[in-house]
Structure 1
Amino acid sequence: MQYTDSTDIKEQNQILTKQRPIRILHVVGGMNRGGVETWLMHVLRHIDRDRFEIDFLVHTTKPCPYDEEVRSLGSRIIPCLAPSQPRLYARNFQRIIKEYAPYDIVHSHVHHFSGYVLRLAKEAGVPIRIAHSHNDTSSLETKAGLYRRLYLALTKWWIARYATIGLAASRLAAASLFGSAWERERRYQILYCGVDLAPFRQSVDRVSVRAELGIPTDAFVIGHVGRFEAQKNHLFLLEIAATIAQKQPNMRLLLVGDGVLRPQIEQKAIEMGLDKYVIFAGLRADVSRLMLGAMDTFVLPSLYEGLGLVLIEAQAAGLPCVFSDVVPAEADFIESLVQRISLSQSASAWCEAVLTTKKAQSLITQTQAYQLLEQSSFTIHNSLKQLEALYLEPYFNEVKHKN
């Protein structure tokens, strides 16, 4: 969505000079180093903070990695607890809206629960309400029990009723939350969560990066970035690594991230005799540096994804990528770097696919990959331009209606 009419632009600028900044409340579980939260940080860093004021409503009181930077940029972290207790959550939400009012936009990123959030936002008088789908959970929904199916049906109905805008990270993510006929409604559209590509322009000393991580300079390093949750399929990743280690003894598996399943995965690695092969790097703020300096290949055997934004970053780093065929097609940006494989295939089949990337001669340099992505819809600048337009159009219509 772009504004090309000069009269419209002039009118918008006049309204902006008369009005206070547009106030937006993003709803997330917590400001952790996940894909959604990292994109929101890119937005916060690059958006015009004189025109847009952003706060974050979170479902935890525990400190999260991005909290300090959020506050340093002038935004607030506002806990709203008890999402599993609807009445208590509603009271907390209503209190927050009254205390920090007014908000022009509530932008919710908590998938199905967004239905309840936007219902409460409507009741609180927030005029613009956005449901944002970042995942394709359709495979999980087919396995849901009776009560879960009732919950899903209700929350989807609330989204259809109370969302004034519906955004999705991919076509599959859109269908997952808004239904298979989502394209028939103008309020539903795709918004690619852009990456800040600037770090991928930097020169990185591979020897020093690997030395920091205890990785031999001649090791073949398989990289993975993701939360330690069932979705990311770390157990299968260990099976793949074990198979590769039998054929490539100098292999290393570099796991970047944290999560509730990390202790289980660490223990499993020991039981499988992989402890000398697997490096648990934890949460890192320098993912681009690790991709450029430590990794040779990127592997993502996820059970489901909304887009797999980390694959865009891996392609920006010029890494060959082997990933599950459930990942949305939009992630296949540089075809010479990507290889899909079914999760029904064995660890041995995945092993062969990964080892093929080691033997194959790259058809594209990292610089060329970066330059291609710089012209794509996946940059933070293009993503932010679309997002600002989505915020502004209904806001201007609301202001004009009041006037």
Structure 2
Amino acid sequence: MTRPLTVLHVFGVMDRAGAELLTVELLRHLSPDRYRFVFVTLTGRPGALAQEIRSLGGSVYPCRLDLGFPVRFFRLLRSLRPDVVHSCVATFSGAILLMARVAGVRRRVAHFHSTSDRHGVSLRGRFQRAVMRQLIDWFATDLVAVAEAAMTGLWRSDWRNERRCRVLYNGLDPAPFERAVVTTAATGSSCIAEGPAERSRTASDAAPGWQPVIVHIGRPDPVKNRAAAVDVLIALRRCGVPARLRVVGREDARESADLRRRAELGGVADAFDLTGESFDIPALLAGADLLLVTSRSEGLPTVVLEACAVGTPVLSVDLPGVLEIGRVLGGVTTVPQGSRVEIWGAAAAGMLTAPPTSAQRVRAFRAFAASPFVVEHWRRGMTSVWDQ
């Protein structure tokens, strides 16, 4: 019997975030007789997904990024002897793939999940980025990005001229989103058949007492800019829209206190909830009227795909990855980066004239299921990289 192909993934930590969750989802769709997943985390912490990974047959090795890291990581590579090292740590992948090459790993993949790294624009940051890109150039056998914008941002604009480069859109399992849409259609009051009158509804047509639900989903990281979502709620309330905001994701005590204080000062404390992590994002989004994306940087934001899959409108800053999704799927509205909060508020108010209908959600799901953003498309693409 042929032994499974061992794929060693490198992440910061296996917490509940877009790329990490999607990689675990991919593990569910692969035969353990064909692929074995190993995760190395550079924070030295396994992360909230570690138990689930182990239950699916994978392994997690915390390997803290400090002065002793190179020796520990090299020894781990020599011990595990992976067939593939798949690095998901932006341009730092250059250092990871250098060590993989020294350890004799045949397939070495740099996978870009965002349009920028954390080196910044200082002279030191630019130097570090240049060195890491050179190492990627020398030691990567394959370069994969979640979006064209991610490949251009972290690699270079002429990437299409390189055989090693390919864009593979993140893929979601359609089943939970179909269930969420069907459940919403079964319990909601909207009609499946939609006519011209329904398409032209205004706020006055909405159910009496309708209170729009806005969600923001993301971890407590400055790049997610969760405070901006509270500012949008304040602007909406000032426009007379009786919306509620749910900020979903892992909490940080200091940031949570700041967000609550911001809501109190803006007079919207009674319409603001910090709900912590959710384990049923499809149902959460299917029960919402608008998704806000206020991030400063993203690759191909999973949460936008999830909202599109259940027909929940998206209002986002005009990040390249979001625009890429919007070209394929409907329901995405963007505002320019740096826009005043009043512009966000006006845009949101225009989108919250009535809740999405069951018919709209069903059509949105069908468009998503036929798109390149499904897990089967992603599975075929990723395994073709590893199997070469």
Q: Distance in 1 between matches of 2:185 and 2:340?
A: 32
Instruction: Give runs of aligned pairs for residues 45-60 of structure 1, distance below 5 A.
Output: 45-60=28-43
Report the secondary structure of 2:337's partner residue.
Answer: coil
Of 73, 80, 91 in structure 2, the residue corresponding to residue 112 of structure 1 is 91
Instruction: Give runs of aligned pairs for residues 179-218 of structure 1, distance below 5 A.
Output: 179-202=156-179, 203-204=182-183, 218=210
Q: Distance in 1 between matches of 2:55 and 2:280?
A: 19
Amino acid in structure 2 at the alignment position of 1:119: L
Q: Distance in 1 between matches of 2:355 and 2:269?
A: 30
Amino acid in structure 2 at the alignment position of 1:79: P
Q: Give the corresponding residue for 2:324.
A: 330
1:244 to 2:244 alignment: no
For residues 336 and 173 of structure 1, do their structure 2 counterparts lie closer, same or farther at Cα, with a shift above 3 Å needed? closer
Q: Distance in 2 between matches of 1:32 and 1:208?
A: 33
Of 274, 282, 303 in structure 2, the residue corresponding to residue 280 of structure 1 is 274
Q: Give the corresponding residue for 1:372.
A: 367
Structure 1: give runs of 5+ residues left out of the alignment: 1-16, 210-215, 394-403
Q: Give the corresponding residue for 2:68.
A: 88
Of 376, 390, 396 in structure 1, the residue corresponding to residue 385 of structure 2 is 390
Report the secondary structure of 1:365's partner residue.
Answer: helix
Report the secondary structure of 1:276's partner residue.
Answer: helix
Q: Distance in 1 between matches of 2:251 and 2:71?
A: 30
Instruction: Give runs of aligned pairs for residues 154-193 of structure 1, distance below 5 A.
Output: 154-193=131-170
CA-CA distance at 1:258 after TM superposition = 1.9
Q: Give the corresponding residue for 2:125.
A: 148
Whether contact under 8 Å (1:312, 1:333) holds in the other structure is no
For residues 340 and 267 of structure 1, do their structure 2 counterparts lie closer, same or farther at Cα, with a shift above 3 Å needed? same
Whether contact under 8 Å (2:241, 2:349) holds in the other structure is no
Q: Distance in 1 between matches of 2:174 and 2:247?
A: 21
1:304 to 2:297 alignment: yes
1:353 to 2:333 alignment: no
Q: Give the corresponding residue for 1:342.
A: 336
Whether contact under 8 Å (1:59, 1:80) holds in the other structure is yes
For residues 271 and 136 of structure 1, do their structure 2 counterparts lie closer, same or farther at Cα, with a shift above 3 Å needed? same
Amino acid in structure 2 at the alignment position of 1:323: S
Whether contact under 8 Å (1:334, 1:369) holds in the other structure is no
Q: Distance in 2 between matches of 1:345 and 1:51?
A: 49
Instruction: Give runs of aligned pairs for residues 231-270 of structure 1, distance below 5 A.
Output: 231-248=223-240, 250-258=242-250, 260=252, 261-270=255-264
Q: Distance in 1 between matches of 2:131 and 2:56?
A: 37
For residues 119 and 40 of structure 1, do their structure 2 counterparts lie closer, same or farther at Cα, with a shift above 3 Å needed? same
Structure 2: give runs of 5+ residues left out of the alignment: 189-207
Q: Distance in 1 between matches of 2:289 and 2:247?
A: 13
Q: Distance in 2 between matches of 1:207 and 1:346?
A: 39
Whether contact under 8 Å (2:174, 2:374) holds in the other structure is yes
Amino acid in structure 1 at the alignment position of 2:24: M
Q: Distance in 2 between matches of 1:116 and 1:322?
A: 37
Whether contact under 8 Å (1:304, 1:327) holds in the other structure is no
CA RMSD of aligned residues (A): 2.4
TM-score (normalised: structure 2): 0.87
1:221 to 2:213 alignment: yes
Cα offsets for 1:282-336 (capped at 9, x unmatched): 111111111112x101111221211112111101110111111123232115654
Amino acid in structure 1 at the alignment position of 2:75: R
Of 58, 68, 78 in structure 2, the residue corresponding to residue 75 of structure 1 is 58
CA-CA distance at 1:269 after TM superposition = 2.6
CA-CA distance at 1:65 after TM superposition = 2.1
Amino acid in structure 2 at the alignment position of 1:33: R
Report the secondary structure of 2:111's partner residue.
Answer: strand
For residues 165 and 335 of structure 1, do their structure 2 counterparts lie closer, same or farther at Cα, with a shift above 3 Å needed? closer
Q: Distance in 1 between matches of 2:380 and 2:137?
A: 25
TM-score (normalised: structure 1): 0.84
Amino acid in structure 2 at the alignment position of 1:345: S
Q: Distance in 2 between matches of 1:231 and 1:135?
A: 11
CA-CA distance at 1:62 after TM superposition = 3.6
Off by >4 Å, runs of 4+ in structure 1:
205-209, 333-336, 360-364
Q: Distance in 2 between matches of 1:65 and 1:123?
A: 31
Q: Distance in 1 between matches of 2:32 and 2:209?
A: 44
CA-CA distance at 1:162 after TM superposition = 0.8
Whether contact under 8 Å (1:113, 1:155) holds in the other structure is yes
Amino acid in structure 2 at the alignment position of 1:134: H
Whether contact under 8 Å (1:21, 1:50) holds in the other structure is yes
CA-CA distance at 1:137 after TM superposition = 1.4
Amino acid in structure 2 at the alignment position of 1:90: P
CA-CA distance at 1:204 after TM superposition = 3.5
For residues 206 and 61 of structure 1, do their structure 2 counterparts lie closer, same or farther at Cα, with a shift above 3 Å needed? farther
Report the secondary structure of 1:237's partner residue.
Answer: helix
Q: Distance in 2 between matches of 1:29 and 1:341?
A: 31
For residues 42 and 340 of structure 1, do their structure 2 counterparts lie closer, same or farther at Cα, with a shift above 3 Å needed? same
Q: Distance in 2 between matches of 1:199 and 1:335?
A: 18
For residues 335 and 206 of structure 1, do their structure 2 counterparts lie closer, same or farther at Cα, with a shift above 3 Å needed? closer
Q: Distance in 2 between matches of 1:359 and 1:218?
A: 10
